[in-house]
């Protein structure tokens, strides 16, 4: 389970969230002076949302999904296509991104939810590749490899007031607001009775089934839900990029979200994926400015994390914070990893 | 029917190549229950090493390079088929030394570790050789084409398929008919007993892993003249390899070979009718099979599922 104090898991808004939001709210004020640019902030928020959604499957449910980029991409395309063909309204288009990616996830879940371990992992890769190929080859719908261009940042209409999101700072605050709401929703979801059953299934599918829970339905629904939220993040990403490209659906990019989540410590902490996204994207920009081979160094870092700190950054920080021995944390990280593929076994 | 024959033949040769690509991957999955995601990068590395050896500037000291270049192309090719996999084997040793820490833990550790290794190797390839495409020279004897039944056939495809059959046969003999194979299989089945019998399991695992990486390199050298040599070829190889194993079923030798042939046929036949979509066919095939057969065609129970 997620080792936060009991009182926090019952809260709607935790102190960590407040601090995070306050810090994030000041980002546009200083990010330019730090040698970075406001767009990076937008990217980090969107990828954080995506990684949190992905971690519902990987960390909370313990299901190895390696083709999650597909749903992120589907959301981006759905946002663009809805804008062009249905109605150019921000809320409708974001809802479309959520719904279409969720439907795609539900369809895939039908095929994979009775599988485990390596077969589950590879089925997710296969479906990811199918969606990616469809996106590249359907020139008329998606624009093929050129991508779906000229997607606009639609104004946010709250009824009483309407905000123009074309500027990066305005859009950043919009994404921050959406991110805040989504974090609360995901936090509640993970700590709801439903979330607890999911966590129980991660520990032992057989035990959960014997307690009378419909394991298949839980596994299918969490996958579809994760896909839907990933698609929602994809819709925001289409707005940020002003376009939707198929490369976010490729196996490489699906691998990146796995790496971010694990390096950050998504297996032991709710916030792990967010930490991972920060590290990954900032490393990309900072190391990437110095050398072309930033993936080389990030790959080496990733190897080191897997070998020496499988619980990730969040795990290491929590261990220091709670003054526990690193050894016990390592065991915890190990358990989480073991459960991931060892899905439903008692050992 | 006769119109289809070239496509079927084409698909079968392609299928043999897929089986060859999957062979080293299968060996490591079947005998060590470890997923080596660096397989594709090692495959690419084999092709790049071979290209460097066969090219105008071999990686030797000046005088040795001179006498090397003086050798006939065929001799150099034959030597490359041994030297390049050996060099890749050294990389394999390095990976195995890291991977050792993960034995006895969840196989996901090994998978993630080799995913990182794959990233590092691919990036190193980009740094060393750039992103351009290279061509691997092959001897005249296997180059070119011939005419049969009013159609032009590529000699190299048949040569490659023949090598694939030979390597698959040799690997089968090694793991099924020698005491080495028996020990290795026993080690995968019950490592404690095998250790108690006084067998050095650490060395045995190293050997299996290095053998698997060398098979990846051989596949890379054989496939390179058909696919071309570029940094992305590793990913292009590891996905079909993984797919062939899952389709055939983890732990089944002939399952992988049959799955390779099926994938080749699917890609070849769909390529005849809708070449745009031919790559999609293998995924559809996998989904169709695994939806109904939980462990692929002939998979055995393993640590990798459960």
Structural domains of chain B, ranges and CATH numbers in brackets: 5-292 (1.10.3470)
Backbone angles phi, psi at B296, to 5 degrees: 70, -155
Note the pLDDT of residue B294.
75
Note the pLDDT of residue B60.
82
**Quick check: B239 and A115 CB within 8 A?**
no
- Residue B118 pLDDT > 70: yes
Give B253's pLDDT tier (boundaries 50, 70, 90). Answer: confident
Please say whether the beta carbons of A248 and A76 come within 8 A.
yes
**Quick check: B123 and A299 CB within 8 A?**
yes
- Interface ipTM: 0.83
Note the pLDDT of residue B112.
84
CA A199 to each of CA A4, A219, A329, A340, B175: distance values in angstroms, whole numbers, following the listed order: 15, 11, 19, 11, 41
Residue with tokens 């090598």: B163
Please say whether the beta carbons of A190 and A51 come within 8 A.
no
Q: How far is A27 from chain B (nearest CA, A)?
A: 31
State how far the Cα of B94 lies from the Cα of A303, in Å rounded to an integer.
13
State how far the Cα of B173 lies from the Cα of A9, in Å rounded to an integer.
58
**Quick check: B117 and A299 CB within 8 A?**
yes
**Quick check: B286 and A122 CB within 8 A?**
yes
Say whether A148 sits in a helix, a strand or coil. strand
First CA to last CA distance, chain A = 17
* pTM of the predicted protein model: 0.86
Q: Is the CB of residue B284 less than 8 Å away from at least one CB of chain A?
A: yes
Residue of chain B whose Cα is closest to the Cα of A305: B113
State how far the Cα of A202 lies from the Cα of A94, in Å rounded to an integer.
31
Residue of chain B whose Cα is closest to the Cα of A263: B112
Render pLDDT for B204-244 as a digit per residue (tens, 0 to 9).
889 999 999 999 999 999 999 988 898 889 888 988 898 99
Note the pLDDT of residue A331.
60
Q: Is the CB of residue A207 less than 8 Å away from at least one CB of chain B?
A: no
Q: Is the CB of residue A127 less than 8 Å away from at least one CB of chain B?
A: yes
Nearest C-alpha neighbor of B206 from the set B293, B64, B80, B99: B99
Computed over every residue of chain B, the mean pLDDT equals 87
Q: Which residues of A touch B115 (CB under 8 A)?
A: 255, 258-259, 302
Render pLDDT for B40-80 as a digit per residue (tens, 0 to 9).
999 999 999 999 998 888 888 888 888 888 888 888 899 99
Nearest C-alpha neighbor of A141 from the set A10, A244, A260, A269: A244
Residue of chain B whose Cα is closest to the Cα of A139: B276
Q: Is the CB of residue B235 less than 8 Å away from at least one CB of chain A?
A: yes
**Quick check: B306 and A300 CB within 8 A?**
no
Tallying the residues shown for chain B, one arrives at 306
Q: Is the CB of residue B290 less than 8 Å away from at least one CB of chain A?
A: yes
Residue of chain A whose Cα is closest to the Cα of B299: A119
Note the pLDDT of residue A325.
53
Least-confidence region, from B4-18, B179-193, B223-237, B289-303? B289-303
Burial class (CB in 10 A: 0-12, 13-18, 19+), A25: middle
Element of type H or E holding A157: strand A156-157
- Listed by number, the residues of chain A in 87-126 with a beta carbon closer than 8 Å to a beta carbon of chain B are 111, 114-119, 122-123, 125-126
- Segment B177-204 mean pLDDT: 84
Tens-digit pLDDT string for chain A (347 aa): 455 455 677 788 888 888 888 888 888 878 777 777 888 999 999 999 999 999 999 989 989 899 999 999 999 999 999 999 988 899 999 999 999 999 999 999 999 988 877 788 888 988 999 999 899 988 888 888 888 888 888 888 887 878 888 888 899 999 999 999 999 999 999 999 999 999 999 888 889 999 999 999 999 999 999 999 999 999 999 999 999 999 999 888 898 899 889 888 888 889 999 999 998 898 888 888 887 778 888 888 888 888 888 778 887 777 777 655 555 555 656 655 555 554 433 33
Note the pLDDT of residue B48.
95
Q: Is the CB of residue B240 less than 8 Å away from at least one CB of chain A?
A: no
Q: What are the percentages of helix, strand and coil residues in chain B, rounded to 5?
A: 75, 5, 20
Backbone angles phi, psi at A13, to 5 degrees: -125, 125
């Amino acid at each position: 389970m997620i080792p936060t104090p009991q009182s926090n898991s019952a809260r709607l808004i935790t102190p960590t969230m407040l601090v995070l939001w306050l810090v994030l709210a000041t980002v546009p004020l200083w990010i330019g002076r730090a040698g970075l640019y406001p767009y990076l902030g937008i990217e980090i928020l969107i990828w954080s949302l995506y990684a949190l959604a992905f971690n519902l499957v990987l960390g909370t449910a313990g299901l190895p999904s390696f083709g999650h980029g597909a749903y992120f991409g589907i959301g981006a395309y759905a946002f663009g296509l809805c804008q062009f063909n249905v109605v150019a309204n921000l809320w409708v288009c974001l809802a479309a991104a959520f719904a279409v990616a969720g439907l795609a996830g539900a369809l895939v879940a039908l095929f994979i939810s009775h599988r485990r371990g390596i077969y589950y992992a590879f089925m997710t890769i296969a479906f990811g590749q199918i969606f990616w190929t469809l996106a590249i080859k359907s020139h008329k719908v998606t624009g093929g490899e050129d991508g779906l261009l000229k997607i606009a940042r639609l104004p946010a209409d709250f009824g009483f007031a309407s905000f123009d999101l074309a500027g990066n700072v305005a859009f950043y605050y919009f994404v921050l607001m959406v991110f805040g709401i989504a974090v609360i929703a995901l936090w509640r979801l993970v700590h709801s009775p439903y979330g607890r059953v999911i966590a129980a299934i991660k520990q032992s599918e057989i035990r959960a089934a014997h307690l009378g829970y419909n394991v298949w339905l839980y596994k299918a629904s969490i996958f579809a839900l994760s896909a839907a939220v990933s698609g929602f993040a994809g819709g925001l990403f289409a707005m940020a990029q002003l376009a939707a490209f198929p490369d976010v659906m490729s196996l490489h990019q699906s691998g990146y979200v796995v790496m971010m989540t694990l390096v950050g410590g998504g297996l032991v902490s709710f916030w792990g994926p967010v930490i991972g996204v920060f590290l990954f994207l900032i490393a990309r920009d900072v190391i990437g400015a110095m050398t072309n081979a930033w993936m080389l160094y990030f790959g080496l870092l990733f190897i080191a994390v897997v070998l020496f700190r499988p619980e990730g950054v969040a795990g290491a920080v929590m261990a220091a914070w709670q003054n526990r021995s690193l050894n016990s944390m390592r065991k915890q990280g190990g358990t989480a990893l073991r459960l991931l593929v060892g899905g439903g076994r008692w050992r | 029917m006769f119109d289809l024959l070239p496509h079927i033949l084409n698909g079968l040769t392609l299928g043999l190549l897929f089986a060859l690509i999957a062979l080293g991957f299968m060996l490591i999955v079947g005998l060590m229950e470890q997923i080596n995601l660096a397989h594709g990068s090692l495959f690419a590395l084999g092709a790049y090493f071979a290209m460097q050896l066969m090219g105008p500037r071999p990686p030797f000291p000046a005088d040795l390079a001179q006498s090397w270049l003086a050798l006939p192309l065929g001799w150099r090719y034959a030597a490359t088929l041994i030297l390049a996999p050996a060099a890749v084997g050294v990389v394999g040793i390095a990976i195995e030394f890291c991977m050792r820490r993960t034995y006895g833990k969840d196989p996901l550790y090994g998978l993630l570790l080799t995913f990182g290794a794959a990233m590092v190797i691919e990036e190193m390839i980009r740094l060393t050789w750039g992103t351009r495409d290279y061509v691997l020279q092959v001897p005249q004897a296997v180059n070119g084409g011939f005419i049969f039944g009013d159609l032009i056939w590529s000699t190299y495809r048949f040569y490659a398929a023949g090598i694939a059959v030979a390597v698959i046969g040799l690997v089968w003999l090694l793991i099924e008919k020698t005491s080495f194979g028996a020990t290795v299989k026993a080690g995968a089945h019950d490592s404690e007993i095998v250790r108690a019998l006084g067998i050095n399991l650490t060395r045995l695992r190293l050997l299996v892993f290095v053998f698997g990486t060398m098979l990846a390199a051989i596949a890379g050298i054989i496939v390179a003249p058909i696919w071309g040599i570029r940094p992305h070829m590793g990913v292009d190889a590891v996905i079909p390899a993984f797919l062939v194993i899952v389709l055939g079923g983890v732990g089944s030798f002939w399952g992988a070979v049959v799955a390779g042939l099926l994938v080749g046929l699917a890609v070849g036949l769909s390529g005849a009718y809708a070449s745009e979509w031919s790559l999609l066919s293998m995924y559809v095939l996998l989904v169709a099979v695994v939806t109904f057969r939980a462990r692929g065609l002939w998979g055995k129970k393993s640590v990798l599922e459960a």
